[in-house]
Structure 1
């Protein structure tokens, strides 16, 4: 699976698939950035997801809260937004457009 994670300032860019096959790797890489600072997570480049991607976002939010950080998820692919709605966890995941404040 060809996943790319790129940190640029306070923006974490994720591209490629996020599935059961690589979710542990992606989760750990993202957690390192989220522990360090407030983070805007841009998911524009995500090409494929399954339910494990929702679990990953929830884990990142737990990390955010544990370390007293702020995280926002932007540019979610429609299939990921659909899963978030299906599992009724949208209130737990701050999503929106890129914010200047983070």
Structure 2
């Protein structure tokens, strides 16, 4: 689901409701392994998103902040940006 490459975490699965809990838990597990280290969530391989993708990203952002880590999102799919705009949270999305 999420592959770690240094301080970059690459999401390799659809970010949809069926995967949301597993993605959040996997991301939190990776964040917990290296507290205080800034990370980038790379979404270049993500082909499918729904609104739960925003929930996962904001959940990871909160978890990162609690650990003293800055989290950034790289290569978000256009559909994710569209959803963020639709829900009025595009300025809160931590884009790299």
TM-score (norm 1): 0.85
- More strand per residue: 1
**Counterpart for residue 15 of structure 2:** 18
C-alpha RMSD of matched pairs (Å): 1.1
Compare 12-21 and 27-36 and name the one that shifted more: 27-36
> Following superposition of structure 1 onto structure 2, how do residues 1-102 of structure 1 map, counting pairs within 5 Å?
4-35=1-32, 36=34, 37-96=37-96
TM-score (norm 2): 0.89
Gaps of 5+ in 1: 97-102
Deviation at 1:48, TM superposition (A): 0.5
Gaps of 5+ in 2: none
